[in-house]
Structure 1
Amino acid sequence: MGAVDEVVGFASDLIRIDTTNTGDEATTVGERAAAEYVAGKLAEVGYDATYLESGARGRGNVVARLAGGDPGRGALLVHAHLDVVPADAADWSVHPLSGEVADGYLWGRGAIDMKHMVAMSLAVARQLKREGHVPPRDLIFAFVADEESGGFRGARWLAEHRPDLFEGATEAIGEVGGFSVTLREGVRAYLVQTAEKAALWLRLRTRGQGGHGSLPHADSALATLADAVTRLHRHSFPVVWTDPVRELVTALGRLTGHPIPADDPEPAIAALGEAPGLGGLSRLLAAALRDTAAVTIFNAGLKANVIPGSATAEADCRVLPGREEAFVRELAAVLGPGIEWEYDSLPAIETTFDGSLVERMRAAIGAEDPGAPLLPYLLPAATDAKSFQSLGIRHFGFAPVRLPAELDFPALFHGVDERVPIDGLRFGTRVLERLLRDC
């Protein structure tokens, strides 16, 4: 059997293995069973796969290497995460852990984020090993834990504690990219992630005079925080053009026949989203134009008749490359006095859209979908690329899949009824095989 023959079965098996990551070690299932499945499939064809846990029980990771023909060339890292976010079965058309094949799709949590890439990488790795194929450069396959909570039990832990496993790696592919966008009838393009925003998790606190609810006073911690949160919610950070967004917008104008003006892009981007199937692309572009801050948690009070002495909130902030210092200054001005705040962050990443690996991606896509261009884009979210970047590895989001024109791809991430088209999954496997054979 070849990679294309195995990939759907692998993906279905992996979806049925529960790897739900809640962000809380007490309730997180862990990735051990999925990691052992992957390690076993690699061992069947002769890989010497390394299984590692980060010190937290059950947080399994697997790394394997296929030696290339030129030891002097930098290795290519192919990585995918094994964990998934929670899913409420009551909201789904099928059970999210079913791995069901129906209506031309494979359904379940992780179908796109990102057990499809685990399955494709595993299937291609097995085929190359069975054939005794020697690629031009070393290939390192990493199947990791905990991406959905920052990679502290997965990619970040591996980069800090086992960098030897990635020795010689100079480039990497992972999520989110290589997916198709149908811009108009007969015009399809594939987006490759060359940059992603910094992730900044903000914690806010206010303090005031507590007391009995029947004796209210002006010094309210809750009201002060509510005012600050409202200001943050309503604030628009400035439009900032990054190279991948500028390149993408220019290409979209050329391919769709509707230019997006640089001096006022947002109305044209909103109009783009009104076209069938382009709502997801429009949302991605809008988020890539400016920094964002979304308030996600608000806590205060213990009882209805007790005025709380403090209140807290949290916000998920995503910051464009090169903007963190300016963002923090602007944030301080928006929040104003009387607000205590602190944050943790993961850095932005960015690379240029050039080089031999990009040319090989272009050739691999072109062989399966002739004439379809590759376009760079900036991902507003975060991936394990942030962790592997610390090892000096240049990263591209490239987990190829061809999608039906009407499918809202971004909405599938963490969404209800997550699914991947069977034909698109097989297409991606063929593209990935072409790329890795001659990368």
Structure 2
Amino acid sequence: MTSARPDTAAPVPTAQDEVVGICQDLLRLDTSNYGDGSGPGERAAAEYVMGLLHDVGLDPEIFESEPGRASVVVRLEGRDRTRPALVLHGHLDVVPAQAADWSVDPFAGEERDGLLWGRGAVDMKDMDAMILAVVRQLVREGRKPARDVVVAFFADEEAGGVKGARWAVDHRPELFEGATEAISEVGGFSVDVDGRRAYLVQTAEKGLAWLRLVADGRAGHGSQVNDDNAVTRLAEAVARIGSHPWPYTLTPTVDKLLRGVADLTGLPFDAQDPECIDALVAALGPASRFVGATVRHSSNPTRLDAGYKANVIPGRAEATVDVRLLPGHEDEGIAALHLLAGEHVRVEEIHRDTALEVPFAGDLVDVMVDSLLAEDPGAAVLPYTLSGGTDNKSLHRLGITGYGFAPLRLPADLDFAGMFHGVDERVPVDALRFGVRVLDRLLRAC
């Protein structure tokens, strides 16, 4: 008589089991975006994503805006297909990293002290990994999300999305048919406010204007008196713009955030008092880097270009300026920049993208809040404005309302905001596992 053979089938991994390994794999793929077409592109990462989706029986589509600049899209069928679809998206590119500045190899995906280190760990291969892990678990278990979900991984976000989300919106809009809302990066992370954990959901983002300042003058010998010097005129304009004290202006999202901080801390709130605003921003700890840049416009000169020899006065001088504009105040901000540039300096547009702001209300917001609080009871959830921008700007062209919601429960002393495009980017592995639990809840209910 033979005994029954034991069941040796390996257990099916869950999203919490897989998310750390997926994130490590993505971090090890160098997808640096230099903004000039010289980087490695996103193709290798897109093919990796395709493999993970094919593995569970999905049929994603990969497409390129140009060779190597690859994006991936797949649609999950929802339980109620009469409802508008949700777009769940991330980007596969990262900003470059100078290895000599880092404590670890920025493309090794090293786990150390309970954190994953690498370029993209917070921007945004952490969220890419969470999306992939949750989608794989959902399909394996035979579950459907509450409504159709368009899952997208875009190229080129770090250079404005022209070769990624913007290209997809302009050339493949049918991929997003029926979608009205979207979820992506830089929101849903926790901060410590006076000893209480608060999660910041991104409901707004500043507008973007990369501008070129051009001064023309009279070329000549460096030894001559020249009152029509292009470099001098440009330098004066750059100094005015870079040092301009933009006035504090609280948009509805920032107003609601700071009122929430006042409630949590007991600090006074006065929208007309800059010192009061500064105190409330400071109460957000490391997140004050983000929030402090959203109480007013900002204009930072980033490049200068003039001349070719020490004793030659050039006839032309140029500078670039990175301008971030508050939602609802973009036109007045651009008008002010033209005045600051002065009559002798032209302002040319290199790249422009709109500001976004939506109410911290509605069914999707309610589900985001409920999903967070189910995993972290007693926390607070507040809206905030992102000082940068996301691919939600491109999706907005199709009438899709975007939110930032990459849920992470973080240690109070982790300078999360400071790691975006910074050195020694890292994310706690426990935060990744927390994130997949929250995202799974959201897809069940949204």
User: Which residue number corresponds to residue 16 of structure 2?
Assistant: 4
1:41 to 52, 56, 81: 52
1:341 to 347, 350, 361: 347
Superposition RMSD in Å: 1.2
User: Which residue number corresponds to residue 370 of structure 1?
Assistant: 377
Contact kept in structure 2, 1:273 and 1:280, CA below 8 Å:
no
Q: Aligned partners of 2:119, 2:276: CA distance in 1, in Å?
A: 33
1:104-183 matches, within 5 Å, as 104-183=114-193
User: Which residue number corresponds to residue 286 of structure 2?
Assistant: 280
User: Which residue number corresponds to residue 308 of structure 1?
Assistant: 314
1:257-268 matches, within 5 Å, as 257-265=266-274, 267-268=275-276
Alignment of 1:23 with 2:23, yes or no, is no
Q: Aligned partners of 2:279, 2:414: CA distance in 1, in Å?
A: 18
Contact kept in structure 1, 2:189 and 2:408, CA below 8 Å:
yes
Alignment of 1:298 with 2:286, yes or no, is no
* Cα displacement (A) at 1:328: 2.0
Alignment of 1:400 with 2:411, yes or no, is no
2:25 to 9, 13, 18: 13
Q: Aligned partners of 1:336, 1:413: CA distance in 2, in Å?
A: 34
* Cα displacement (A) at 1:341: 1.4
**SS of alignment partner, residue 288 of structure 1:** coil
Q: Aligned partners of 2:441, 2:273: CA distance in 1, in Å?
A: 40
One-letter amino acid of the counterpart of residue 365, structure 1: L
Q: Aligned partners of 1:378, 1:333: CA distance in 2, in Å?
A: 27
Change beyond 3 A, Cα 1:283–1:261: farther
Show structure 1 runs of 4+ deviating over 4 A: 272-275
* Cα displacement (A) at 1:170: 1.1
Instruction: Summarize deviations over 1:373-420 as a string: whole Å, max 9, x none.
Output: 211111111110000011111111001111110111111100000000
One-letter amino acid of the counterpart of residue 241, structure 1: L
Q: Aligned partners of 1:20, 1:102: CA distance in 2, in Å?
A: 23
Q: Aligned partners of 1:273, 1:171: CA distance in 2, in Å?
A: 29
Instruction: Summarize deviations over 1:38-77 as a string: whole Å, max 9, x none.
Output: 01100000111011111x1111111011101111101111
Q: Aligned partners of 2:213, 2:190: CA distance in 1, in Å?
A: 39
Gaps of 5+ in 1: none
Q: Aligned partners of 2:132, 2:225: CA distance in 1, in Å?
A: 62
* Cα displacement (A) at 1:238: 2.3
* Cα displacement (A) at 1:155: 0.4
Q: Aligned partners of 1:40, 1:272: CA distance in 2, in Å?
A: 46
Q: Aligned partners of 1:89, 1:112: CA distance in 2, in Å?
A: 17
Identity of aligned residues (%): 56
Contact kept in structure 2, 1:272 and 1:279, CA below 8 Å:
no
Decide which moves more: 327-336 or 416-425.
Answer: 327-336
Instruction: Summarize deviations over 1:353-386 as a string: whole Å, max 9, x none.
Output: 1111111111111111001121111111111000
**SS of alignment partner, residue 84 of structure 1:** coil
Structure 2-normalised TM-score? 0.95
Instruction: Summarize deviations over 1:190-239 as a string: whole Å, max 9, x none.
Output: 00111111101111111111122122422211011101111111212222
One-letter amino acid of the counterpart of residue 362, structure 1: V
Q: Aligned partners of 2:269, 2:41: CA distance in 1, in Å?
A: 45
**SS of alignment partner, residue 293 of structure 2:** helix
One-letter amino acid of the counterpart of residue 260, structure 1: F
Contact kept in structure 2, 1:253 and 1:260, CA below 8 Å:
yes
Alignment of 1:389 with 2:399, yes or no, is no
User: Which residue number corresponds to residue 323 of structure 2?
Assistant: 317
Q: Aligned partners of 2:225, 2:414: CA distance in 1, in Å?
A: 52
Q: Aligned partners of 1:65, 1:208: CA distance in 2, in Å?
A: 56
User: Which residue number corresponds to residue 213 of structure 1?
Assistant: 222
Alignment of 1:361 with 2:365, yes or no, is no
Contact kept in structure 1, 2:289 and 2:418, CA below 8 Å:
no
User: Which residue number corresponds to residue 51 of structure 1?
Assistant: 62
Change beyond 3 A, Cα 1:170–1:61: same
Structure 1-normalised TM-score? 0.96
Contact kept in structure 1, 2:220 and 2:314, CA below 8 Å:
yes
Contact kept in structure 2, 1:194 and 1:351, CA below 8 Å:
yes
User: Which residue number corresponds to residue 199 of structure 1?
Assistant: 208
Aligned length: 433
Q: Aligned partners of 2:282, 2:367: CA distance in 1, in Å?
A: 33
Change beyond 3 A, Cα 1:418–1:269: farther
